[in-house]
Structure 1
Amino acid sequence: MKKSFVLLFSLVLSHLAFAQEALFNAADLKSPEINADKTVTFRFFAPKADSVFLTGDFLPTMKVKSRFGLVDVPKPALMQKDAKGVWTFTSDALAPELYSYSFTVDGLRSIDPNNPFLNRDVATVTNIFIVGGPQADYYKVNAIPHGSVTRRWYDSPGLGIDRRITIYTPPGYESSNATYPVLYLLHGAGGDEEAWIALGRTAQIMDNLIAQGKAKPMIVVMPNGNASQDAAPGEGNTGFYKPQFMAPRTMEGSYEGAFMDIVKFVEKNYRVNAKKESRAIAGLSMGGFHSMHISRFYPNTFDYVGLFSAAIMPREDATAKVYSNIDETLKVQKENGTKLYWIAIGKTDFLYQANVDFRKKLDGMGMKYEYVESEGGHIWRNWRVYLSQFVPKLFN
């Protein structure tokens, strides 16, 4: 009995000593460290690990198979271990941008314990950092007037539930009597009403564009595009659960058909210009799909439409009314007129060909649009840029 107690006590002391060593060694680390030459150094304390890899959207890419075909993903970089058990990697010089990264320690994915700044994309959590410079400065909180971000609940008779929505109001909204135009900004598959405000840096982009006089002050409405959800995972009445890429009732027409519930809520509860010329709708991927179908299903509602890396045509098994008579309703939308129909996509995006085909359709009916083709694929880096390019074109 005495020997067992001594052994147990020794094990506890050993564990405490190791934990204390890990705590104090990790506390001295700076990670990531953005160096003067724009290289970035990452550090991870793991003295017992056999390997630590860094993965991030700033690393060279490799092709891998996915449900969407071959896609580019970052190639993990092996970090180097020093005598103190600290693993280190320094990147090449990085262009101004918001970047994300994580570690893999002996095959187990890990966030950076020295960096408390995180984003969730669907069910994946990654650390983030910003390398400052022209485009990336739109993503920073600068010393300028700031708008407000609120989470509201609205009644959706079309979906039969109360739903959560994120709304940005511009600087000075609360203290003025002015009315404002509205941008309805829609997320992609796996996202929710938190996606654009967190991953897209919408509030920072809007604050900076407005402060620089590049954008009109406007309200930005960011709904949840998953018809089965009342709110983002962990924020609604279903509690905490693992987010999934395609929630039930996604892209089957219910959300698009009930979209005017959102417009009515906004126009009842906010000081807005409730006219076609003061409404814009835009979205990324699935949100671009929603924007295209909502804007043609309600063809005299939005004067500005933005499709960012948009999915285009509905699934073959989607039979909702909103997906019927696509060509005819596009023609009605064209005849009613839009001040801006804006399409943007990356050259290596898996939806590139679908967008080529859609532009041919628009060309065939003589519908005018603006087209932007960028480098890269189906990534948030592109969508933040698209937002910062699209917003200055609105409501002029």
Structure 2
Amino acid sequence: MRKQLLLTFLSLSLIGIQSKAQEALFGAQQITSPEIHDDSRVTFRISAPNAENVQVTGDFLPTVKMETPMGEMDGPGAAELIKNEQGIWSFTTESLSPELYSYSFIVDGLRTTDPNNPFLIRDVASVTNVFLVGEGQAALYQVKDVPHGSVSRRWYDSPGLGMDRRLTVYTPPGYEQSKEKFPVLYLLHGAGGDEEAWIALGRTAQIMDNLIAQGKAKPMIVVMPNGNVIQDAAPGEGSEGMYKPNFMVPKTMDGTYEANFMDIVKFVENNYQVKANKANRAIAGLSMGGYHTMHISRYYPNTFDYMGLFSAAIMPREDATGKVYSDIDGTLKTQMDNGYELYWIAIGKTDFLYDANTEFRAKLDEMGMPYEYVESEGGHIWRNWRVYLTQFVPMLFQ
């Protein structure tokens, strides 16, 4: 009797689960959006029969000036959708160049994601849909039929910060079966980001797989730490639970991260098959991560042979008074005198940090400190940072 009751209970539970799954499935709008046409035009659609106005906003549209926590910056504009007799709104772009794009809808003033596109990405506290167009540069961001590396989330002990912390690690194809030792790139995120930023927004795993398969990059390990020292992990992934991510958390860019960065290096070199010397270490980062890269590499001036500053947030800070920020010119000179293979600086022409980077390069020029410089179109955007990664990685460990 008990067995029969148990079977009945399990059957009812399964029916309930299936009903919920079917409810989720059949509750979705049966619309194709975005639809990518053969000529690289893209059509967006959403069913909103009672709406009075629907727009789409995304990085495929002309930019407009926007107020942000970091001042006035370029942001995506918006385009009007047109409603048909069935209450479906639509908009078709002109042909788009190959790229990974993000977008959202604005329905009667409320920003929302596309209910017909399950592919979402988080940037700080904003969640948007994404889509890929074409080959060209965008081919590096796609999953191709090539050998694939592995991505893992690891926890490491940071004695300097007094906690276990989480980082993301990419290991190249065949790493698990290999007895070979590999070089390491430490890849740092910007303000508001975390250990998920480069792997998600930056498409790091896809870029590395494709560059390695094409013979354009050496197989290497890529370590993507969390640069927010008050966090043990990304929001929703650590001990603080689920909370809204903030753009500038306490202790951001105050020297604490830089001073304790070797906790990360020690963990990697004790737990992975790596070539543990200066010639096989690289460090790079975007915005705040570029700031961290500049300071970590000069504070530990004989540790890295390759440095990459992507749209680096090199700016004076009132709270930058700790030991890490003392004698900047002297430690840069020590770093220069120790020698290195590559000091690479890249920034967009309309980036709000352009002038700060120009001033920093003038300092390096005055010191006679060698560097390579790349100037691109556009501003402080992930489109540039993905491109910079594809340009920087092939120059490493050659």
Task: Report TM bin, short chain.
Answer: over 0.9
* Residue number in structure 1 paired with 2:309: 307
* Residue number in structure 2 paired with 1:179: 181
Q: Does 1:286 align with 2:288?
A: yes
Alpha carbons of structure 1 residues 214 and 183: separation in structure 2 relative to 1, 3 Å: same
- Kept after mapping to 1: 8 A contact 2:183/2:280: yes
* Residue number in structure 2 paired with 1:7: none
Q: Give me the whole-angstrom Cα distance separating, in 2, the residues matched to 1:357 and 1:61.
A: 26
Q: Give me the whole-angstrom Cα distance separating, in 1, the residues matched to 2:90 and 2:264.
A: 49
Q: Which moved more, 1:67-76 or 1:191-200?
A: 67-76
Q: Which moved more, 1:359-368 or 1:62-71?
A: 62-71
1:257-276 matches, within 5 Å, as 257-276=259-278
SS at match of 1:174: helix
* Residue number in structure 1 paired with 2:365: 363
* Residue number in structure 1 paired with 2:7: none
Superposition deviation, residue 318 in structure 1? 2.1
* Residue number in structure 2 paired with 1:330: 332
SS at match of 1:390: helix
* Residue number in structure 1 paired with 2:118: 116
**1:211 is matched with which residue: 189, 202, 213?**
213
- Kept after mapping to 1: 8 A contact 2:236/2:243: yes
**Deviation digits for residues 252-308 of structure 1 (CA, Å, limit 9, x no counterpart):** 111100000000000000000001000000000000000000000000000000000
- Kept after mapping to 2: 8 A contact 1:97/1:132: yes
Q: Give me the whole-angstrom Cα distance separating, in 1, the residues matched to 2:231 and 2:66.
A: 31
Q: Does 1:277 align with 2:279?
A: yes
Alpha carbons of structure 1 residues 148 and 92: separation in structure 2 relative to 1, 3 Å: same
**2:83 is matched with which residue: 81, 84, 105?**
81
Q: Give me the whole-angstrom Cα distance separating, in 1, the residues matched to 2:139 and 2:39.
A: 17
* Residue number in structure 1 paired with 2:55: 53
**Deviation digits for residues 89-136 of structure 1 (CA, Å, limit 9, x no counterpart):** 001110000000000111111100000001000000000000021100
- Kept after mapping to 2: 8 A contact 1:215/1:393: yes
Q: Give me the whole-angstrom Cα distance separating, in 1, the residues matched to 2:29 and 2:314.
A: 49
* Residue number in structure 1 paired with 2:3: none
The residue identity in structure 2 corresponding to 1:93 is: S
Superposition deviation, residue 322 in structure 1? 0.5
Q: Give me the whole-angstrom Cα distance separating, in 1, the residues matched to 2:84 and 2:193.
A: 40
**1:229 is matched with which residue: 208, 228, 231?**
231
**Deviation digits for residues 71-90 of structure 1 (CA, Å, limit 9, x no counterpart):** 22222111000000000000
* Residue number in structure 2 paired with 1:387: 389
**1:164 is matched with which residue: 163, 166, 175?**
166
SS at match of 2:307: strand
Superposition deviation, residue 67 in structure 1? 4.2
Alpha carbons of structure 1 residues 200 and 348: separation in structure 2 relative to 1, 3 Å: same
TM-score w.r.t. length of structure 1: 0.93
Alpha carbons of structure 1 residues 242 and 66: separation in structure 2 relative to 1, 3 Å: closer
- Kept after mapping to 1: 8 A contact 2:99/2:132: yes
**Deviation digits for residues 347-394 of structure 1 (CA, Å, limit 9, x no counterpart):** 000000000000000000001000000000000000000000000000
* Residue number in structure 2 paired with 1:142: 144
**Deviation digits for residues 148-175 of structure 1 (CA, Å, limit 9, x no counterpart):** 0000000000111100010000000000
**1:95 is matched with which residue: 74, 94, 97?**
97
Number of aligned residues: 377
- Kept after mapping to 2: 8 A contact 1:39/1:92: yes
Q: Give me the whole-angstrom Cα distance separating, in 1, the residues matched to 2:157 and 2:301.
A: 24
Superposition deviation, residue 26 in structure 1? 5.5
Alpha carbons of structure 1 residues 89 and 265: separation in structure 2 relative to 1, 3 Å: same
SS at match of 1:208: helix
TM-score w.r.t. length of structure 2: 0.93
Q: Give me the whole-angstrom Cα distance separating, in 1, the residues matched to 2:140 and 2:89.
A: 32
Superposition deviation, residue 68 in structure 1? 3.6
Q: Give me the whole-angstrom Cα distance separating, in 1, the residues matched to 2:315 and 2:159.
A: 26
Percent identity over the alignment is: 73
Superposition deviation, residue 59 in structure 1? 0.5
SS at match of 2:211: helix
**Deviation digits for residues 16-36 of structure 1 (CA, Å, limit 9, x no counterpart):** xxxx9x986963310000001
Q: Give me the whole-angstrom Cα distance separating, in 1, the residues matched to 2:385 and 2:135.
A: 18
SS at match of 2:215: coil
Q: Give me the whole-angstrom Cα distance separating, in 2, the residues matched to 1:24 and 1:330.
A: 61
**1:378 is matched with which residue: 373, 377, 380?**
380
- Kept after mapping to 1: 8 A contact 2:352/2:379: yes
- Kept after mapping to 2: 8 A contact 1:314/1:323: no
Superposition deviation, residue 315 in structure 1? 1.1
Q: Give me the whole-angstrom Cα distance separating, in 1, the residues matched to 2:370 and 2:60.
A: 36
Alpha carbons of structure 1 residues 277 and 311: separation in structure 2 relative to 1, 3 Å: same
Q: Give me the whole-angstrom Cα distance separating, in 1, the residues matched to 2:201 and 2:33.
A: 21
Structure 1 segments unaligned to the other structure (5+ residues): 1-19
**Deviation digits for residues 301-339 of structure 1 (CA, Å, limit 9, x no counterpart):** 000000000011451122211111000000000000110
Q: Give me the whole-angstrom Cα distance separating, in 2, the residues matched to 1:113 and 1:257.
A: 44
1:237-256 matches, within 5 Å, as 237-256=239-258
- Kept after mapping to 1: 8 A contact 2:29/2:47: no
**1:106 is matched with which residue: 96, 105, 108?**
108
Structure 2 segments unaligned to the other structure (5+ residues): 1-21
- Kept after mapping to 2: 8 A contact 1:32/1:42: yes
Q: Give me the whole-angstrom Cα distance separating, in 2, the residues matched to 1:293 and 1:276.
A: 16
Q: Give me the whole-angstrom Cα distance separating, in 1, the residues matched to 2:255 and 2:374.
A: 28
The residue identity in structure 1 corresponding to 2:142 is: K
- Kept after mapping to 1: 8 A contact 2:29/2:115: no
